[in-house]
Structures are given as C-alpha cells and as structure tokens.
Amino acid sequence: MQERLNTEPVYVISIAAKLAETHPQTLRMYEEKGLVCPFRSANNIRLYSEADIERIRQIQNLTQVMGVNLAGVEVILDLLEKIRTLREELEKRHEQLRQEMEQEFMERLRRVAMNMDPSGGA
C-alpha cells in the first residue's frame, strides 16, 4: 500500500500487535529484552512505528517459522545489519578506488605527455 515506511511512531500496542499478528504481552517481552523499543508518549503509552512493525514481523518469522529463540534473534539481527553495512561500505570503497585510479591515470597521462613533448615541460 505504502511506498515507503512511515517512521513516525503512531501505533499503540494493541494495533501494533494486530498488524504483526502477535500478542501485546509478547511485544512487552520483546521490549524488555531490548529487541523492539517503541517510543513512549507523554503519558507512558508505547507507540510503534512502521519500522518497528516490520522488525516485529521479522522476529516473528525467526521465532515462529524458523524456531530461533530470542537470544538467537538478537545475534541474527545484528549480523544482518552487519551484512548491510559491509555491503554499503564496500560499495563505497569500490567507487573510491575507481576515482583514485582515474586520478592516477590523469597523472600518468600528464607525465607521458611531458616526455613526448619536451617543449611543453619545465
């Protein structure tokens, strides 16, 4: 439906639980274990964002479908994040290398040109 995830925390716990097809008490447990940390309103009510819901769904998939416990979920989510970071970092390094080599090329080209046409050199 939505083109991008709404990161504004807007869902109270009952709605969040329905959206992620789980139980409010389970969400409170996830928070206690530091797995999903919703915003709190001024009067202490938990408020979940779309991103939170998506994370809850991912956790549900790991626990219910794959049988992973919450200690495992924590490690796995960290590793997935690490993979994402690694990919981005290496993408960046790739681009950086390309630019460095382009610069080196220009430098070498300049030197070669100076050798071939001494009148232009110092």
Q: What share of the chain is helix, strand, coil (3-state, %, to 5)?
A: 65, 5, 30
47's CB contacts (< 8 A; 6+ apart) are 9, 10, 11, 12, 38, 39, 40, 41
Q: Does 18 bind a copy of itself (CB under 8 A)?
A: no
Hunting for tokens 């200690």 — which residue is that? 71
In the complex, least distance from residue 97 CB atom to a copy of itself, rounded to whole angstroms: 6
> By CB under 7 A, is residue 29 in contact with DNA?
yes
Q: Pick the closest to residue 48 from 22, 67, 70, 66 (CA basis).
A: 22
Reduce the DSSP state of residue 48 to 3 states and report it: strand
Site string for a copy of itself, 68-107 (x = CB under 8 A): xx-xxx-xx--xx-xx--xx--x--xx--xx--xx--x--
Using the rule CB under 7 A, give the single segment among 2-10, 27-35, 83-91, 101-109 that binds DNA: 27-35
Tokens of 107: 């430098």
Residues near a copy of itself (CB under 8 A), total: 30
Residues in 47-66 at the binding interface with a copy of itself, rule: CB under 8 A: 62, 66
Least spacing, CB of residue 41 vs DNA, in Å: 9
Contact residues toward DNA (CB under 7 A) are 12-15, 22-26, 28-30, 33, 43-46, 63-64, 67, 69-71
